[in-house]
Structure 1
Amino acid sequence: MQKLLAAVAAALLPLAAYAQPPLPEPPAHSAPPASRPLKLTSWNLEFLATRNGVGCQPRVDADYEAMRRIVDSLDADVIAFQEAESVEAAQRVFDPARYVVIMEARAGSPSGTCGGEHKTQTVIRQAVGFAIKKDIPFDRHADVTSLMLGNEQLRSGIDITLRPTGARPVRLLGVHLKSGCFADATAKACPTLFQQLPALEAWIDAAATGPDRFAVLGDWNRRLGLGGDAIWTEIDDAEPANSDLRLADAGIGPGCDPRYTSFIDHIVLDRRAGQDMLAFSETRYAAGEKHYSDHCPVSVTLAR
């Protein structure tokens, strides 16, 4: 870790945004839970707001309805989401009749105005959470506030254990790490991201000694799939043995936006969950479809 911190310089790297999701019809029917794989998804919702016209991505009712159709088409058992203002905002996308929504307790202290084309808009809270199918029992653990580094502007992690009927449990940590250090160690944001690493690795190592397989999923704001990435090398050390990690998107490039060739949204599996992984997928918008978020949903299926 000291070597990583020593490598951080003051120079800036160009910031990278991210991409977007075909919009298939919702499945006509779902297989019985005990007979189908467990599906885990992550989606950054880009400033999802409680009210129309608010935040750095102001939306109208039709936008929320389209985002809910995307969620329904995913038919995921659990979705780790990022950048939602409130439970009420998230429920505009995650149907309360189908999903239980939980969010980190951190209130945050949003301030200032947005950039880009929405400079007259005010920044709103960006929080992480989970939407969990209502028929899946789960335990909620304490939020991983160590990821905040004492700064209310940094997100905590949200920590749960799913206990699906007819399936082995899986522990999940939802994260949204510091933005701006997408590769290397030279960008202005890199010292903060690297300072979050010990807290993240501590959670991984503790979970690796626990009884349940696990995954860390969310917006890592880091291209972990690049060869020799310093952060991936740091956490994928197989000490303890179950922290021999699997990057679900390894060897796969995103297809949402041709400008970007490597994911920053990741689902990282421990050795046990990695052995259970059946498939990775990215959901894209149809050609010509409006981009309702600047990120696409990414998913893995696991053997139950």
Structure 2
Amino acid sequence: MKSLIALSLSAVAVSGCMGWPSGRDAQGLKVASWNMEHLAERDGEGCNPRTEADYARLRDHAEALGADVIAFQEVQNRAAAERVFDPAVYDVVMSGRPPSTRSGECRGRPGLFIQNQAVGFAIRKGVPWTRNPDLSALALGNPDLRWGVDVTVSCGRPVRLLAVHLKSGCNSGRQPTDPDCPVLFEQLPVLEGWTEARAREGQSFVVLGDWNRRLASRDDAFLADLNDGDPAASMLTLTSGGQAAGCKARYREYIDFIATGADATARVRPGSFEEYRYGGVPEDQHPSDHCPISVRIAD
């Protein structure tokens, strides 16, 4: 009986994702990253207070994005995420980190206060997934730094996904006198340990999220340290390639990335990287200060 059950499960995995429209899984799994800029549970709260109409627009954009798995950042809690990602359509997976103790006034917004900023995933129902332990070490013991959220999805060959939101304030260079740079570079060996472990296990893996770092800049020190080539399969490729960011006119370099390990890189659909710019609405009408990015990964 056990062998028959195992055989049935294998057949489901090979045939694709249950409940998908015919031919959808043949295009590959569409994975995305989206910093949602202080998405709060309730109207009028947080550093980007929203109305129900704003949440409705976010729901429309989530549908238009059409991703199967979305790694999200800056979301207060599960209730906030489910205001955008309909729980009838998506499974929401939240970081296990206790709520941050940061609650100061929002910069330049008197009377508004910082809410918890959590990392998580929205996974379309029908996509098989399992949860792995959070990468809590990424917080360096600081309750205000974010944990990584780690899931495995398997619409065919499994792929391990790690959602991250790294320390802000050190988007280039490696200034030791800058209070933010030493913290970001302390997170590096934790992240490197995770990628190297996946490579040694022979797993296909992706690290995606808000890196708060211009990794695609020439000779970026953070990416160079991370990509030391040992083992070779741990080398990360930025799926955005040499494309310039277009979300904001004043920022032409990405800080959000979908980075693939060697095995996952071989599975990326050529030309599938996209930056979703909210249907071309003017920048001042964007519902977040980040635009979602996505790529397709073949089974």
TM-score if structure 1 supplies the norm length? 0.87
Instruction: Tell me how far 1:30 sits from its aligned partner.
Output: 4.9
Partner residue of 2:104? 112
- Tell me, yes or no, if structure 1 residue 282 matches structure 2 residue 271: no
Partner residue of 2:139? 148
> Superposition pairs for residues 240-279 of structure 1, below 5 Å?
240-278=231-269, 279=272
Instruction: Tell me how far 1:31 sits from its aligned partner.
Output: 4.5
Partner residue of 2:214? 223
Bigger mean CA deviation after superposition, 136-145 or 218-227: 136-145
- Tell me, yes or no, if structure 1 residue 158 matches structure 2 residue 149: yes
Question: In 1, Cα distance between the equivalents of 2:22 and 2:273?
Answer: 19
Partner residue of 1:173? 162
Question: In 2, Cα distance between the equivalents of 1:46 and 1:210?
Answer: 35
Instruction: Tell me how far 1:146 sits from its aligned partner.
Output: 0.6
Amino acid corresponding to residue 226 of structure 2 in structure 1: I
Instruction: Tell me how far 1:110 sits from its aligned partner.
Output: 2.4
Question: In 1, Cα distance between the equivalents of 2:235 and 2:38?
Answer: 34
- Count of equivalent residues: 273
Question: In 2, Cα distance between the equivalents of 1:242 and 1:42?
Answer: 23
- Tell me, yes or no, if structure 1 residue 293 matches structure 2 residue 288: yes
Instruction: Work out whether residues 27 and 296 of structure 2, in 8 Å CA contact, stay in contact via their aligned partners in 1.
Output: no
Amino acid corresponding to residue 103 of structure 2 in structure 1: S
Question: In 2, Cα distance between the equivalents of 1:153 and 1:31?
Answer: 44
Instruction: Work out whether residues 238 and 245 of structure 1, in 8 Å CA contact, stay in contact via their aligned partners in 2.
Output: no
Deviations 1:255-275 (CA, angstroms, capped at 9, x unpaired): 111111110000000001111
Partner residue of 2:172? 183
Question: In 2, Cα distance between the equivalents of 1:204 and 1:175?
Answer: 13
Question: In 2, Cα distance between the equivalents of 1:227 and 1:30?
Answer: 42
Instruction: Work out whether residues 157 and 175 of structure 1, in 8 Å CA contact, stay in contact via their aligned partners in 2.
Output: yes
Amino acid corresponding to residue 277 of structure 2 in structure 1: R
Instruction: Work out whether residues 104 and 158 of structure 1, in 8 Å CA contact, stay in contact via their aligned partners in 2.
Output: yes
Q: SS in structure 2 opposite 1:143?
A: strand
Amino acid corresponding to residue 103 of structure 1 in structure 2: M
Question: In 2, Cα distance between the equivalents of 1:261 and 1:60?
Answer: 30
Instruction: Tell me how far 1:294 sits from its aligned partner.
Output: 0.4
Unaligned 5+ runs, structure 2 = 1-19
The two structures, once aligned, show a CA RMSD in angstroms of 1.3
Instruction: Work out whether residues 218 and 266 of structure 1, in 8 Å CA contact, stay in contact via their aligned partners in 2.
Output: yes
Partner residue of 1:61? 52
Bigger mean CA deviation after superposition, 286-295 or 142-151: 286-295
Identity among equivalent positions (%) equals 47
Question: In 2, Cα distance between the equivalents of 1:34 and 1:293?
Answer: 29
Amino acid corresponding to residue 298 of structure 1 in structure 2: I
Partner residue of 1:35? 26
Deviations 1:231-285 (CA, angstroms, capped at 9, x unpaired): 1101112211211221111201101111111100000000011111112110003
Deviations 1:177-201 (CA, angstroms, capped at 9, x unpaired): 0000000012431010001111010
Question: In 2, Cα distance between the equivalents of 1:227 and 1:277?
Answer: 23
Deviations 1:40-77 (CA, angstroms, capped at 9, x unpaired): 10000011000000000000001111111111111111
Instruction: Tell me how far 1:100 sits from its aligned partner.
Output: 0.2
Question: In 2, Cα distance between the equivalents of 1:168 and 1:130?
Answer: 19
Amino acid corresponding to residue 294 of structure 2 in structure 1: S
TM-score if structure 2 supplies the norm length? 0.89
